[in-house]
Homo-oligomer: A and B are copies of this chain.
Amino acid sequence: MRIAELSRVSGISAATIKYYVREGLIPPGVRTHHNQVDYNNAHISRLRLIRALMDIGGLSVGETKELLAALDSRQLSARDSLGRVLYAVADHRSPVGDERRESATRDVAALLERRGWHIAEHSPALANLVDVCAALHLLGHSDVVAALDEYAVASEAIAATDLGLVGNEPTIERMIETAIVGTVLGDTALSSLRRLAQEHLSATLLPPATGR
């Protein structure tokens, strides 16, 4: 199909599609003997994936590119590809609460020890968690830091579901795509489910506005 048709089907403008091609997010179309550029169904699928990661998952162009590179890499084992995916989607936020970083580092190390989690020292999620704990201490919300054990138990159940979904896939390409889609869109699903569960529980656990 021509770029106008690809644009119509995917809902993405021709200019944006050309930008994604230049950035290496999607492969270029094939030039035909009529000197036209031809796109196929694989381009539609890839554009849908890009839009979901950016619009629903909130990823940047750079983060999306990094994930697609992991998806397209044919030389890595399943575990190495997944490791690359995990580290790419743990975008590092600016640190807040630097003066509390030392005690926050101890909090997180003790949490990992209690859970028996073996984590590489350079794991970006580790740095993010330390940042959050430092900010919580600085804001006077150490009570939230103390609740991280309960959050970690729930997170372990979530991660077991995640890896079950990945492990069920028949090919390494599908495993990596499931890891990407499940982690990025799954984050949005999980934050929505958390708010829905809060809404449901707050009706039963907190006193109503008026009467009785």
Q: Give the interface of A toward B (CB within 8 A).
A: 45, 48-49, 51-52, 55-56, 58, 76-80, 82-83, 86, 89-90, 93-97, 112, 115-120, 123-126, 128-129, 131-133, 135-136, 138-141, 143-144, 147-148, 150-168, 177-178, 181-183, 185-203, 205-210
Contacts and interface: CB of A to CB of B under 8 A. Distances in A.
A202 B144 contact: no
Contacts of A132: 56, 185, 188-189, 192
Name the prevailing secondary structure of the A interface residues.
Answer: helix
Stoichiometry, copies per complex = 2
Contacts of A182: 141, 144
A163 B202 contact: yes
Contact of A196 (B52, B83, B89, B112): B112
Contacts of A192: 90, 125-126, 128-129, 132
Contact of A181 (B123, B124, B141): B141
A175 B197 CA distance: 18
Given A96-B48, A129-B193, A191-B187, A203 B118 contact: yes
B199 A86 contact: yes
27 contacts: A49-B139, A56-B94, A56-B96, A56-B135, A77-B207, A77-B208, A78-B206, A79-B206, A86-B195, A90-B192, A118-B203, A124-B195, A126-B196, A128-B192, A129-B189, A136-B185, A141-B181, A150-B161, A152-B193, A154-B155, A155-B194, A156-B197, A159-B198, A159-B200, A163-B198, A163-B206, A190-B194
